[in-house]
Structure 1
């Protein structure tokens, strides 16, 4: 009997790849009928290999393997001269690898000992549905965000068929099936407003292709988004199998050891943690306002501060050589008894630590799930992508967060200065034991763990997905 195999085509961005790998491990451990999973990896132009953490997955789970797809002979991004959005750049780049993916799949299906039974595609790799169709194989979308945002992308496509134009900043609130409340225009992602640059067109394209797939695998769980799950407007099955988290994600450095050692010395449930993701950084005037707020709040704090890249350079922030130069004079000395400023921080370990009581976050979906898993209430400070929508979901829809500055956007004229008073007020309310959000987060934390256990909602969704995948075999 042939071994049954799935082909995964992920987006190499860490926020997407991590949860996709966690899903692959979960699926292959859950259903022994699926013998192997092959990841076809499309490296970014500046990459030469996958990182050690990704490589180590195959060592711990030999039924998962990673094959790096060779790049096209010509880099399609080098042909672009006009301004273009990140979303359209990603679409063009992924699509340019179709022939390489097709050749890799040809090699897989030529192995008589294996039978490829389907594709699992990242939510931004929908152009690879064309390759799946060539092999008469079903496609499933690995949706690394939440059910509400899936509903929004489906809404964008439906709206486009009716109106044919991008959103406008003066539009009224949107009625979207997955949201209980009307969604304000000022929390919608930047790309949907773009007349040029292709961001809106990319969203419409993905929403269109979604309709050709057999199912959505979503990094969420029913108990977190019951209204969205019951209200989503799509005939395609939705499988909430989350939270998909890497609980062993430890990348210890001297700096991270110092962070954990400092936390060990703090009283239980006393520290507010400010951390803004792998791309999060702020201007010096904004850092000054944050420092003033932290000093006036009298709260114990751990603050991850990163150095912005040069203007126009799209790379991750780095650590400051001397962070004191961008903070108010004497700030570090005045708060040294109750506060620590660091560079990169081991977020998972910090959230899991008994001293951590609150979390000011950029509202990346993985960060939100990590905060909920560890029962840490959050204050919202979104920066980009769908983070404003995530903040709206967390605060207005679910009652699981404190609104610090839900509509904030990094870069350009949208980066208004959030003043110290506003920050201090949100921090103190977040850390208040009487804040009702605290009990709500504790309840969801317990439900997130139960969802993955045998008989839990995500366990059942995973079981149903595996059954459906096997039924779709020709």
Structure 2
């Protein structure tokens, strides 16, 4: 009987991270029958759609999901401190992981533990892997440029003892490994310049990433050659684009809602629609919504707009659909734009981006959204909100020439404290939409590059492609842990 190599996946408790983890797990299992995978699920108190997503997955051979969520009382004890909540949440699951490993024997008598595959935010679990004498690998759900930036700032802080908070609100331009252009300080992710417990914890996790045996990065060699060349330790495996292109069960629309959206797109001319969508966490206040509406109406372009209600102020939560969108839109907007536009709630993003009627994407530049857009060759207009999205926007526009700017230095407070967030005016938004959808020379260059990257993106994952080969090398390394 052949000994199987068992991998334990521990993704972050957020839908985007879990879905990417499931997709890379499926790719690994499809490539080698000697491998089994257990995905350990940690759930946050808020409903991030994780349970319904797991239930929607049909039975996948050699893959099991194990709920290791700690009790609500334990989680509630962390809730009072937003800065330390997430890392305390991860730490609290360590005993559950040990229990699983000690009690299950994986329920597969002919398998041996070959390693842990950890989300970039789950580095405390390296301790558990070490206890069980197996290596850890990271599945890095963002891109190689952000990893290069993080390693650079970790070195500045910990080896050169530089206080990186001096770059906050600075006009300085920085030289960062992996970037060909000077990088403006104003585009730096807040976590790299804040003086906070969260920032310290974040860079501690970056330090720990270096302890692992390898890092799978959700990118491909043809997209990010320079950042990938700048990374050397640990071993880097570009394995992307890893995205759920079928969209399956994690969508939050009923079949009839999705059908209505696709039917509307079917009636539009090819490449005529601009799609506006800001991710599962993206939403705006009424003043900003009205500026977007004015811009869309004045632009004259056909549009599909995913408009979501912000969570309650000061609370961690997800945006939701409006019961009546007209309450936040300019009076008469729906009637005046009825012939050319459609306002929706949750968007079936993959189905929309893959539709021939879509000619441009106004995006928050979350990395999954960027990969989906590139996979279907849709040019992007950047409007980042949180996390590393400003850096993603800079990479798209300045480094790769695959997008154009609405804003790149827009920051929205992750916890909904938006009193100081600048309103982007209708004229600026309209200008960005017009440039995105225009037929001029600049736009033609971006469209050509987007189409070229579409071909390269598709080829990377096929047999003989760069990411296909990289995943093969990773699997060989995993198997060597039990041979």
Sort the TM-score into its range (normalised by shorter chain): over 0.9
CA contact (8 A) 1:357 1:431 kept: yes
Distance 2:436 2:79 in 1: 45
Alpha-carbon distance change, 226 to 27 in structure 1, aligned in 2, over 3 angstroms = same
2:96 pairs, out of 97, 100, 123, with 100
How far is the alpha carbon of 1:270 from its aligned partner?
Answer: 0.6
In the TM superposition, what are the counterparts of 1:59-458 in structure 2 within 5 Å? 59=59, 61-71=60-70, 74-75=73-74, 78-79=77-78, 81-82=80-81, 84-85=82-83, 88-109=84-105, 112-161=109-158, 162-163=160-161, 165-168=163-166, 169-171=168-170, 172-196=172-196, 198-232=197-231, 234-250=232-248, 251=251, 252-253=253-254, 254-411=256-413, 412=418, 414-434=420-440, 435=443, 436-458=445-467
How far is the alpha carbon of 1:236 from its aligned partner?
Answer: 1.1
What is the CA deviation profile of residues 61-120 of structure 1, one whole-angstrom value per residue up to 9, with x for unaligned ones?
1211001114168515525645x33xx422111011111111111224476422011000
Alpha-carbon distance change, 92 to 174 in structure 1, aligned in 2, over 3 angstroms = farther
CA contact (8 A) 1:156 1:207 kept: no
Q: Which runs of 5+ in 2 are unaligned?
A: none
Alpha-carbon distance change, 9 to 419 in structure 1, aligned in 2, over 3 angstroms = same
Taking only aligned residues, the RMSD between alpha carbons, in angstroms, comes to 1.9
- What's the secondary structure of 1:216's corresponding residue? strand
CA contact (8 A) 1:43 1:49 kept: no
CA contact (8 A) 1:121 1:141 kept: yes
Distance 1:62 1:221 in 2: 27
Distance 2:282 2:49 in 1: 25
Q: Which runs of 5+ in 1 are unaligned?
A: none
CA contact (8 A) 2:361 2:381 kept: yes
Bigger mean CA offset, 65-74 vs 439-448: 65-74
Instruction: Tell me whether 1:19 sits opposite 2:20 in the alignment.
Output: yes
What is the CA deviation profile of residues 164-222 of structure 1, one whole-angstrom value per residue up to 9, with x for unaligned ones?
534231453332212222221211112223223x2211221111101110111011100
Equivalent pairs, count: 467
Distance 1:292 1:46 in 2: 34
How far is the alpha carbon of 1:345 from its aligned partner?
Answer: 1.4
Alpha-carbon distance change, 177 to 473 in structure 1, aligned in 2, over 3 angstroms = farther
How far is the alpha carbon of 1:348 from its aligned partner?
Answer: 0.8
- What's the secondary structure of 2:165's corresponding residue? coil
CA contact (8 A) 1:156 1:203 kept: no
Alpha-carbon distance change, 107 to 429 in structure 1, aligned in 2, over 3 angstroms = same
**TM-score, normalised by the number of residues in structure 1:** 0.94
